[in-house]
Structures are given as structure tokens and as C-alpha cells.
Structure 1
């Protein structure tokens, strides 16, 4: 299983010819780069960053082993690609509550992605 690249990997990836984070995710991660709060400030920081990208904060919860070195995880819907379609991504607060990284869903978070999609479906019906 390969780890999902983060913004910190993007510069290296771009110079090595590897696939870098899409611009939208890089923009989101850069807006969270200066995070200096704690676990209580995590949701507010992520909500603000998603809003700045015309995205949606869906929910946040304890990571419960869904990702390495992570204590909280937030689901967001952000515009991706040229057509700006909204897609689910995750913001993860590291174990020390000192930084936030952004990841696309993977096999570890597939269940959470399905839950986020169902959550979106419920919200759209309301």
C-alpha cells in the first residue's frame, strides 16, 4: 500500500516527474499549513479552509486507526478538476495536533468515503 502524497511531497514529486497533488488539494493543504491550534481548533480551521475554496465541510471525528499518525479526520467536499465537480477529500490532524495534511480517499478510508457520500445524499434531500 502506497501512502497518499501530501503537499510536502508535491515539490519533490514534481521535480522527480511523479504525479503531484491536484492544484485544488495543494491549495487546500497550503491554506492549512499555518495551523497552530489544537484538536479543538481543528474543525474550525478545516471549515474555514474548505469555505475559501468554495467547498463544504461535512463532518469530523476521531481517526480511530483509519490513517497513520492521525488523531482526527475531517471529510470535505472540494472542487476538483477543470469542471469544478465536488469530490470528497479528507483533512487529517496528526497525532501531536500540530499539523494537518490532506489526502484523497484510499482503501483505508473507503468506508468513511462511502459514509461521506451517504451523508451528502441525506443533505441534498433536506
Structure 2
């Protein structure tokens, strides 16, 4: 039975369950798993991101130096991925962290709104060609 109340029947202690991230879709989860284990000797960051995006019917738009736009990030790959299994695409960023091997996914926010807007304009131009 599903309940919104916490489970307290586990050995007299309250079970700690993290709330589900409402923005975490299957596509984002698959993408995160595909990006895990990046080896710089095995190929470029862009190649790795391109393959991971293609695996979920997404696309790498472009990649560029982070230039301080996202903290702790060396390079940013801008991608379009399906939203909730529909043909609607959403923009996300794959961030290569300063260690050179860890990649994390970031959703656009206030500080990256200009980059998201540029990406969407880029897609618009490509669709018109």
C-alpha cells in the first residue's frame, strides 16, 4: 500500500528515504549512466557526449570551454534530449568537471539562461536550413 507517511516500522527507527527528484526523467537517468566512466584516453569529451546523447535519441549541439560559467566545470557540452519519451526536446548541459574525467548533467538555470537561449536559436537556424 502506498502512503505519504514515513515508514516507522523498521526496527523502531525511521527509514530515511530521499524524495524523488521531480525533474529526473528516464532520459536524464539514462544519459547520466551513459556518461559515467569517461576516459580521456579513449576519445574526446565531445565524442563521449555525442554517443551518450545518440543512445537516447538526443543530439550534441556543440561544446565549448566553460569559462567560469558553471563552477568547477572545464567544458560544457550542450545537448537536446527527448522530454519524457515524447518528441519534444529539451536543452541540457553535460559538464566536464575540473578533474577531467567526471561528467555531470546540469539543467539550464538563471546563470546559464543565455547559453540555453543561444542553443535554442542555434537549433532554430538549423531547422530553417
Q: Same fold (TM over 0.5)?
A: yes
TM-score by length of 1: 0.82
CA distance, structure 1, for counterparts of residue 20 and residue 70 of structure 2:
23
CA distance, structure 2, for counterparts of residue 83 and residue 33 of structure 1:
24
Runs of 4+ in 1 over 2 A off after TM superposition: none
Partner of 1:98: 101
1:64-123 Cα offsets, whole Å, 9 max, x none, are 111111000010000011424111100000011111111111111100000000000110
CA distance, structure 1, for counterparts of residue 102 and residue 85 of structure 2:
29
Larger Rg: 2
CA distance, structure 1, for counterparts of residue 27 and residue 86 of structure 2:
12
Is the contact between residue 27 and residue 85 of structure 2 (CA under 8 Å) also seen in structure 1?
no
> Which aligned pairs between 1:37-52 and structure 2 lie closer than 5 A?
37=40, 41-52=44-55
Matched, 1:25 2:43: no
Distance 1:82 1:49, change over 3 A: closer
Is the contact between residue 58 and residue 77 of structure 1 (CA under 8 Å) also seen in structure 2?
yes
SS of equivalent to 1:91:
strand
Please give the root-mean-square deviation of Cα atoms over the aligned residues, in Å: 1.7
Partner of 1:70: 73
Larger mean Cα displacement after TM superposition, 17-26 or 107-116: 17-26
* Equivalent residue for 2:62, pick from 34, 56, 59: 59
Aligned residues: 112
CA distance, structure 2, for counterparts of residue 116 and residue 68 of structure 1:
20
TM-score by length of 2: 0.81
CA distance, structure 2, for counterparts of residue 47 and residue 82 of structure 1:
19
CA distance, structure 2, for counterparts of residue 33 and residue 84 of structure 1:
25
Q: 5+ residue gaps in structure 2?
A: 1-16
